[in-house]
Structure 1
Amino acid sequence: MDLFNFITHSLNHGVSRSYSDSPPAHYIKKIKSFSVLKKHSAHGHQSTEFEAGGYKWKLALYPNGNKKKNVEDFISVYLEMDGVKLLQAGWEVYVDLRVFLLDQNKGSYLVLQDRNIKQKCFHGAMLDAGIDKLISLKEFTDASNGYLVNDDCVVGAEVFVCKEKRAAKAEFLSMSYYSFTYKHVWNVENFSKLDAILDSEPFTVGNKKWKIVLHPKGDSNGKALADPETLPPRSKTCVEFSLRIVYRMNRKTNHCQKATNQWFDASSPSWGWSHFIALDTFSKAGKGDFVKDTCLVEAEVTVHGNSQIV
């Protein structure tokens, strides 16, 4: 490749180039039968874990280009942060990524970097970053360049953590297009004799546990549905729910139902109605009008989304 084409290639694809006689300091991989890897790696090939700058990483290689970003005729390479649980909530890690290709003809390495964004930023919502168009397949597979010889190549990486800082407060909101509605039925017996507050058996919706809370003598606070133990701090859950009391009186089935949409969090783990149904309705139980002194309390719960602050 002449100097003019070399400079044009680098500018067009936003990749800077340099050369090194030393191998990469953090990761190196020899690939045998690259053509076979290319044939069977439509979704990319992930390296084994390696450590650099106090963090664990993996290198993802797309021999045919990253199709999710509409890359064709180029090799794509990305750095992925592994063991993300070790990354403190709300922190950003800035990384200088250098990708190495061994020139097997000269015994030296071509070092490639993103010209536009040299420092990649990793955080809770961005766990991978790299170079969409690292090198063209035409240039890479040309044996005269030395990168692919006898269908073998050597790829490496250096990862330097430039800085770490706590990011501004961020909130991640995830809403679901398709939400499952769960119906829980609770049979309450001897209603007229109840004095204490009752809790239903817990049930699970949207990976969180819920329960119905019944106040047979009324509740000025209006709390009716919750299980705060499964609501993580600094998170909110969007819930659509309805509560219904079904009872038989004078051989006729009656019901009272109310519905709402609410956001639940650790500080507001429950919500309901303090004036759900008049107590006078159930005072007739002693006269035999309330069939078997029994009623059903039903809850239909749909979790539509979650919000997490980091």
Structure 2
Amino acid sequence: MGSSSTEVSTIVKNWREHPPASYSLKIHSFSQFENSIASSDDKYQSRLFSSGGYKWRLIVYPNGNEEDNGSGFISMYVEIDSESLMVFTPPTEIFAELRFFVYNKKENKYFTIQDVEVKRFNALKTVWGLQQIIECVTFNNPDNGYIFEGGQCEFGVDVIVAPPLTNWEILSFTEKHSDPKFSWAIKNFSTLKENVMTSDIFQWEERNGGVLKLYPKGDSRVDGKWLSIFLYLADCDKPKADEKIFVQANIRVLYPLESNHKKVPIDDWYTEQTPAWGWARFLSLDELRKVYLDKQDELKVEVEFKVVSATKYSPII
């Protein structure tokens, strides 16, 4: 069974009323225009014009560029001035979208045609364009409206220079941490009078730290029958406006005798609006007193980090 592929065209044709924004070439006698380019490789090169901070020329082949399979068509190109490429060392590359125009008096609109692929101009490739804009037979027939009032016509181009990339972000995920675990022992748990307790700040990477907040009598949002635990990022590491940090970690209340610990995972994004994640109903206080306190009335809590994201971005807003 054979295979086949369909080539998708990137050429888009349209009509619009608005004239070209970068450059327009108006000709009062197309027949004389054709005669005049016989001694210049059958093409006409416009004077330099500016667009996007660089200088360009519009090139028109009224009888087609035979060397580029344009015979029998109007061919149009844009050439960047070589001096524009030498502004930087080493010579720069410029990316631009090209949209070509031919005015039609009958429609009172501009026929537009473009290759939607952005073109890369550099020292090795200074010219880009389209070899088959309009068939010469169609263009030369005054009834079609491209030539009007005794031989007038108009060509044009929009050169839309893509600015350099200035807005970007790089998102990475760290899976190996120098010190991924933090253990916290709370003594005399049964006699605690505090409504909330905060651990010391712990670091799992040079730039990342956090704290645990524990509510021995339950968060105010629950009925006082649950142990509540939340993981906060340290103040210096909290996301700023429009930032976010992904954290994947496990929080455990340790079982004193064996490895049957109470474990609940965190798998969430921290933001300025959501600086903490955790559980108001992490563990019932009845179960905690029966199972998870050791003989010294000590409760041990542990957090272990698995994945933490980091984002580099520009510009800093």
TM-score (structure 2 length as normaliser): 0.45
Answer with 1 or 2: which has the greater Rg: 2
